[in-house]
Structure 1
Amino acid sequence: MSSLRRLRAWAFSHELNPDNIRAQLDASAVPVSYADCRTCADPCEDGHGEYPTRFTVDMETQMLGSVDPFARQIFISTGCMDWDFEITWSRQSLAAHVTASLQRTAPIPSTPTAGPEVPNIHGIFNASESGVVSVLNAHYKSIAGDDDLQTVLVFPDFMIVSGVPSTREGARTLWQIVLNPHLPRFLGSGVESGFSTWVLPYSCVITFCSHKRRDKRCGISAPKLETAFTNALQGRGWTVDNQLDYILDPPLEKFKGSEQEKAADVLDTLKTLRTAKKALILHNSHMGGHAYAGNCMIYTPNGASVWYGRVTPHEAESIVVNTIEGGLVLPALLRGGMALSKPGCKTLHDW
C-alpha cells in the first residue's frame, strides 16, 4: 500500500473489519451473510496463484461507499472487449450518442432508502434517489441481425431493448422510451419506437469489468472470474450463458392488453425467474474502482444490484452460494449497490 493511500485511510477512518461492516449493514436492513466470504478453512490473500504476482489490489482503503448512485444503468452490445480508454471516443458508437443525449434530471421525490430508524449507508441507494444514467459497453453481440442496430440491457428494469440504431436519433428515442429516470420501471413512455423489448429471461446477470485499456488488472481478472463463476454455477445445476442466445417470444410490443396489464404480466414473469437457475455472464467496460479488481456486479429480477470488489476466483463459490442463491450480502467484498436495504425481508430475493 502506498504511503498516500495509508494516510488517506487513516484520515477518513476507513472501516475494513468485516464484522463492523456487517453490523452497519444489518442496522440498515441489508440482508447479510455470516459465512466467511472465502470457501477454504484458512482464508488468506496470497498463495493461490490466481493472479500474476504483478497484480496489486488496494486492500487497505474502504470499498463500501465507492459506488455512485444512478437511476438506470445500461449495457450496450459491441461484440468485443477491446474498447477505447473512454468508450465515448468512438464517436459513432451508441455509447457516445447516448452519453451526449443524456439529460440530467432531478431525483424523483420518494421515501429514502432507509428511514429514521434505518440509517443510510453511502453507496447503497434506490433508483429514485438519482437522476443519473450509467452507460457501459458489454461484450455480447446484438440480437438485431444488423451490425448498425444494437441490443441494450437496462437495469434495474431487467429488460432487453433491441434494434437501437447507433445514431443520435436512436439515442434520443432510447431516452424517451426507457432511460428517462422519471419513466416507470415496466410501463415505459408509450412512445412508438420501432424497437423490440423483452424481459431478460435469467435468474441473475453477473458482469465483470474487463476494460484492459483502462486497467490491465480488469483485463486479467475478468476471464478468470468468468471461468470460476461458470464452474461454480454449473456445479450447482445452473445453466450459464455468455451471449443473449435465449429470449422470451414474442416481444412486449405484441402484448395484447392494456399497459397496466402488460406491466402486471412483466412483474409476474420477473417473479418466476428466480427458480429458473439460469445465469447470464457478461464482460463490461470501466465501472470505476479498478484498484479493487476484480470487480463484479450481480443484478436480480426484482431490481437489486450488488457491487463486489477484491473478488478472486477463490470467492466464486461463496458468492454463488450466499448471494446469488441465498440473497445475502458478503460484507467484506461489498462496494455498494441498488435496492439492498430491504426492511422486513430476509433476503435480497424478497419482493
Structure 2
Amino acid sequence: MKGYQASYACDPNKSRGRQHVEPGGGTRGPRDAFQRDRDRIIHSISFRRLRHKTQVFVQPDGDHYRVRLTHSLEVAQIGRTIARALGLNEDLTEALCLAHDIGHPPFGHAGEEGLQTALKAHGGFDHNAQTLRTLMLLDSPYPRWPGLNLSWEMLEGLAKHNGPVIDPGWAMREVDGLYPLDLHGWSSLEAQVAAIADDIAYDNHDIDDGIRAGLLSIDQLIEVPFVAASWKQVRARYPDLSVDRLVPELIRDQIGLMVNDVIENTRANVAAAGIRTVEDVRAAGRMLGGFSPALAEAERHWKRFMYATLYHHPRQIAASAAAQKIVNELFLAYHANPALMSDSWVAHCDTSEPDKSRHIADFIAGMTDRYALSRHSEIYGATQLPEGFVL
C-alpha cells in the first residue's frame, strides 16, 4: 500500500529520474525512488556528521541539547505527520526533512557567516546551495559518478523548499547547470511541508534548549501572546505541578497547534486553488503549504522575540564571534598552505581562483564543530574560548 492518496502527491513511479542512469535500473530491495533517496541520505557520511554540528548552542556543555542531527530527525517526524494527513508522499517529505541542513558548516549560522566573509570575493557561501553541492558532487559513495544521484524531485525540493530561487548564487547555478531544477518555479507540496516542519521544530525546541541553558525563562516567554495562551491552558490542566515539569507540555501543545493549523490551512489553499496534480501545485504561483495568516503573524512575532532574547543573547554573540574567528582563521591557513588540509583534499586543490577558495570552503563546510576546533588548535595552538565551548 502506497503511503499517499492525494492526486497532487509526488508519485515515485512518475519521477523525472536521476542525473546519472543507474545500470540495470534495478533496486536493492523492494524500494521505490523516494524511499531510496531517504535511505541514501541516512547512510551518507554528510548526514552522520550532523551529530557534531551546532543547532543553536556552539559545542554545548551537555548531552541534552539539540544538534543538527537531532533537529533533522525532529523535523522529519513533524513533516511526515503533516504529509500523512494531507495524503502526500511521506518518504519524499521525510527525505527532504532529513537532508535540509546537510550544507551547514560547523558552528551553525556563525560558521556560515565566517565562510561568507572568506568567500566574499569568490561568490560567497550559502548553506542551502551547499546542501545540493554536497549531495550532488562531494559526498560520493558510488564508483561511477559523483554525489548520491538523488531523484530530480528530491533535488528540486531541496533547492526550492522556501520558494523559487530568483537570483541563484554561483553554487546553485553550478548544480542547476549539471541537472536543471526549474529554479524559477514553485516546488512540490512535499517540499513546502518540509520547510514549514523545519520552522515548527526550531521555533519550539529552541525554547526547550534556551530554558535548559538558562538564557530564557517562562516569565520572558509569556510576554509573547501566542505562548502565553498555550501556557495558560497548560497551567490550568496541571495547577499543582512545578514549572520545569510543564515546559515539555507547553512545547507539545504548541507543536500540535501549529501542525493542525498547517494541515487545515493547506487543505483550504489546495481546495481554493483547484489543485488536482503536482503540476498544478508548481503552477499555483504561491506557497500553498503553511500557516494560516493569523498564525503566520503570531509566528513572526515569536521569531522576533527569540532573536532578541536568545539568538542575540550576549553569551550567544560571544560564542558566535569566536566561531567566526575560528572559521576565518582556518580558511586563511589553508589558503596560505593547502598542504595543511587532508591528503585527499590537497590532491584536488586547484591553484587558480575562484576554484581554490571554493575548494577550501568545501573542506571547512564539511567539518564538524569538534573537528574544526581540533584543526584550529593544531595550527594556531590553544585558543581561549568563551563560555559554551567544549573541546
Name which structure has the greater RCO, CA cutoff 8 Å, separation 6+: 1
Q: Flag the structure with larger Rg.
A: 2
TM-score normalized by structure 1? 0.26
Considering fraction of residues, name the structure with more strand. 1
